[in-house]
């Protein structure tokens, strides 16, 4: 019997998705230190070293789940090999109007239009400092995903990212520039060569600590656009790419289920893998795969396409924490 899928998930899915998420985060924030004490012992055969960081296993939590870094000890306790918090913006912001998360269970998918709702870099930095001071900081790598504040004009985006980057530099093992969310107006324009060139250049010049910096890209880019991004990644010595964010292509779900926002889950699996394969065939830059990883076979597909690490979000919601162990066991069975 799968306790999560047969008992816990049906109960959780009775409620509003965002309210249930906040309830889960409150619970994980409270129980995190206890979970951390009983974290599964990592199998050394699963260890990976990617962009200079040691990952006890290659299965991580994707950005968007723990937006404000409230439950970091819990992610280690549940068996993740790394956790990425955020997206965090320079200014605190409420995000888009509710409702803004929609489940599509028959397609094992979600649509969200949250809009970078978060506490802002100053408050998150204070919270992370308290966690460090408490002695409960996780031993797994912690990534910090940064985005643009909605009120900041696109022309001032670089300064906005820099403010967050410098405020949080002390806390992240790696940083991700999120230029691909579909839920902040105009944000995806930062994937265009001139804007991305400016952003990467300024970030790397301020990156005095030499922290790995990654870029998270959209699944809706053309091959030509991805090639341009790869050229900039090489030019600016960017440590890696995260492929991919949610998609604005909703053609894989019925029209009655479509609404504004980014689609994630099983419908994104094939496109995400296709992009990972393209990147790894045209570049040596490490790729963190996210998108449609709903079971161990989908994770193995990402590794076969060339991914160095994988991240879970929608798969974690539908399959529960047991999915982490299933992926790790599948990797060990491969030898």
Task: Give yes or no for a contact between 81 and 56, defined as CB atoms under 8 angstroms apart.
Answer: yes
Domain spans of the chain, in order of start: 25-334
Collect all residues with Cβ–Cβ distance below 8 Å to 174 and sequence separation of at least 6: 51, 53, 141, 143, 144, 211, 212, 213, 214, 239, 240
Return the pLDDT at 58. 98
Q: What is the pTM of this model?
A: 0.98
What number of CA atoms fall less than 13 Å from residue 242's CA on the CB side? 29
Please give the Cα distance from 271 to 268 (Å, whole number): 6
Q: Which residues pair with 262 in a beta bridge?
A: 112
Return the pLDDT at 1. 77
Residues with active-site annotation: 181
Q: Is the four-CA dihedral 224, 229, 233, 239 of positive or negative sign?
A: negative
CATH for the 25-334 domain, from 3.20.20.70, 3.40.50.300, 1.10.357.10, 3.90.25.10: 3.20.20.70
Q: Is the four-CA dihedral 163, 166, 170, 171 of positive or negative sign?
A: positive
Task: Give yes or no for a contact between 138 and 85, defined as CB atoms under 8 angstroms apart.
Answer: no
Q: What's the token pair of residue 237?
A: 């010595």
Please give the Cα distance from 38 to 76 (Å, whole number): 9
Collect all residues with Cβ–Cβ distance below 8 Å to 202 and sequence separation of at least 6: 158, 161, 162
Report strand pairing: 213-217 vs 174-178. Answer: parallel
pLDDT in tens, the chain (335 residues): 789 999 999 999 999 999 999 999 999 999 999 999 999 999 999 999 999 999 999 999 999 999 999 999 999 999 999 999 999 999 999 999 999 999 999 999 999 999 999 999 999 999 999 999 999 999 999 999 999 999 999 999 999 999 999 999 999 999 999 999 999 999 999 999 999 999 999 999 999 999 999 999 999 999 999 999 999 999 999 999 999 999 999 999 999 999 999 999 999 999 999 999 999 999 999 999 999 999 999 999 999 999 999 999 999 999 999 999 999 999 999 97
Return the pLDDT at 182. 96
Q: Where are the alpha helices (DSSP H) in 17-115?
A: 17-37, 72-77
What number of CA atoms fall less than 13 Å from residue 226's CA on the CB side? 24
Return the pLDDT at 335. 73
Task: Give yes or no for a contact between 100 and 18, defined as CB atoms under 8 angstroms apart.
Answer: yes
């Amino acid at each position: 019997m799968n306790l999560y899928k047969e008992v816990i998930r049906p109960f959780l899915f009775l409620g509003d998705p965002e309210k249930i998420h906040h309830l889960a985060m409150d619970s994980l924030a409270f129980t995190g230190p206890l979970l951390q004490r009983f974290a599964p012992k990592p199998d050394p055969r699963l260890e990976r070293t990617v962009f200079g960081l040691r990952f006890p296993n290659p299965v991580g939590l994707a950005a968007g789940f723990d937006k404000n870094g409230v439950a970091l000890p819990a992610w280690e306790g549940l068996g993740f090999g790394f956790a990425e918090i955020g997206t965090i913006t320079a200014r605190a912001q409420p995000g888009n109007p509710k409702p803004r998360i929609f489940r599509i269970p028959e397609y094992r998918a979600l649509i969200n239009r949250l809009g970078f709702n978060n506490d802002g870099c100053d408050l998150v930095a204070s919270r992370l400092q308290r966690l460090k001071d408490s002695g409960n900081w996780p031993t797994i790598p912690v990534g910090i995903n940064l985005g643009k504040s909605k009120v900041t004009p696109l022309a001032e985006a670089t300064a906005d990212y820099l403010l967050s980057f410098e405020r949080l530099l002390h806390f992240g093992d790696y940083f991700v520039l999120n230029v691909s969310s579909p839920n902040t107006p105009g944000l995806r324009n930062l994937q265009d060569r001139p804007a991305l060139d400016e952003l990467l250049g300024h970030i790397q010049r301020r990156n005095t600590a030499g922290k790995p910096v990654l870029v998270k890209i959209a699944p809706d880019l053309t091959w030509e656009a991805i090639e341009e991004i790869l050229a900039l990644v090489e030019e600016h010595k960017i440590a890696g790419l995260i492929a991919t964010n949610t998609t604005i292509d909703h053609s894989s779900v019925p029209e009655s289920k479509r609404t504004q926002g980014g689609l994630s889950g099983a419908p994104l699996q094939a496109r995400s893998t296709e992009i990972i394969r393209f990147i790894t065939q045209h570049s040596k830059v490490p790729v963190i795969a996210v998108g449609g990883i709903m079971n161990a076979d989908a994770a193995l597909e990402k590794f076969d396409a060339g991914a160095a690490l994988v991240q879970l979000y929608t798969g974690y919601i539908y399959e529960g924490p047991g999915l982490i162990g299933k992926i790790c066991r599948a990797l060990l069975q491969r030898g």
